């Protein structure tokens, strides 16, 4: 006859399983892949915001030379503003379990924004493509890139977050170099498309490796 466990022993076993499941691993291949994926999300969100100075210099002397410097500056300002503002919406969406939807939407908006920007010929077109389309895409990536780290790290969270956030610095350095080197050689269109293709490759990597840990609620039984 099967021996029955006491309710107290059963609860202790369940609580032990829940504790083991919810404790961040603080390392391992899967955890560090999240850091790498988050790195590339920062690379393409804050990195593109930090890149705008290179585009503004070109606009002032070339594509948008008939516009005032103030009007041109609004493109970058709106892009940065939307990155932060969209968190009001993306935060609750992330909490509702729409992690992959946010990354996919943000990645698509950034890539489409750059590809559309490459064929723009007027101020309002650049404003829609770079300020609004890319800006909204940046905002969709920002919350997931930050929120995924605590699911995998506790004691090592500061170093993991720092490594992920360094993607914004690398993107802000690499993208302007690519644009400034390629624009005189292959033109504005293909220089911008090159950045779009790089954004496509790096965000696709993030989508392929990032996984949300489904942890039970504290009152799970």
Residue of 123, 101, 121 lying closest to 207 (CA atoms): 101
Handedness of CA 23, 139, 60, 115 (dihedral sign): positive
Q: What is the distance, to the nearest Å, from the Cα of residue 1 to the centroid of all Cα atoms in its chain? A: 57
Do 136 and 109 touch, CB atoms closer than 8 A?
Answer: yes
pLDDT reported for residue 21: 52
* Surface-to-core class of residue 92, CB atoms within 10 Å of its CB (0-12 exposed, 13-18 middle, 19+ buried): exposed
**DSSP 8-state secondary structure symbol assigned to residue 23:** S
| Domain range summary for the chain, segments of one domain joined by + | 28-209
Alpha helices (runs of H) in 62-156, residue ranges in sequence order: 69-85, 87-95, 99-117, 123-126, 134-147
Q: How far is CA 31 from the centre of its chain?
A: 17
Closest CA relative to residue 129, chosen from 139, 142, 118, 116? 116
Cβ contact 59:192 at 8 Å: no
User: In this structure, which topology does domain 28-209 adopt according to CATH?
Assistant: Growth Hormone; Chain: A; (1.20.1250)
What is the predicted pLDDT for the residue at 181?
A: 96
Of how many residues is the chain composed? 221
For residue 16, the tally of other CB atoms under 10 A from its CB is: 10
Cα three-residue angle 38-42-44, rounded to 5 degrees: 115
| pLDDT tens, per residue, the chain with 221 residues | 444 445 444 444 444 444 445 788 888 899 899 999 999 999 999 999 999 999 999 999 989 999 999 999 999 999 999 999 998 899 899 988 899 999 999 999 999 999 999 999 999 999 999 999 999 999 999 999 999 999 999 888 899 999 999 999 999 999 999 999 999 999 999 999 999 999 999 999 999 999 988 644 444 44
Residue 21 neighbours by CB under 8 Å, 6+ apart:
215, 216
């Amino acid at each position: 006859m099967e021996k029955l466990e006491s309710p107290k022993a059963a609860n202790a076993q369940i609580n032990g399983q829940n504790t083991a499941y919810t404790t961040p691993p603080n390392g391992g291949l899967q955890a560090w892949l999240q850091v790498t994926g988050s790195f590339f999300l920062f690379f393409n969100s804050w990195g593109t915001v930090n890149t705008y100075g290179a585009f503004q210099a070109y606009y002032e002397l070339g594509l948008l030379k008939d516009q005032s410097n103030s009007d041109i500056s609004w493109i970058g300002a709106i892009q940065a503003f939307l990155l932060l503002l969209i968190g009001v919406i993306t935060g609750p969406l992330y909490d509702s379990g729409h992690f992959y939807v946010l990354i996919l939407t943000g990645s698509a908006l950034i890539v489409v924004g750059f590809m559309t920007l490459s064929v723009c010929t007027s101020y309002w077109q650049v404003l829609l493509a770079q300020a609004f389309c890319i800006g909204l895409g940046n905002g969709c990536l920002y919350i997931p890139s930050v929120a995924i780290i605590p699911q995998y790290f506790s004691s090592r969270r500061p170093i993991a977050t720092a490594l992920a956030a360094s993607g914004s610095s690398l993107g802000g350095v690499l993208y302007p170099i690519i644009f400034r080197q390629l624009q005189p050689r292959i033109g504005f269109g293909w220089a911008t498309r090159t950045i779009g293709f790089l954004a496509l490759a790096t965000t696709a990597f993030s989508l392929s490796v990032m996984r949300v840990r489904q942890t039970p609620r504290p009152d799970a039984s």
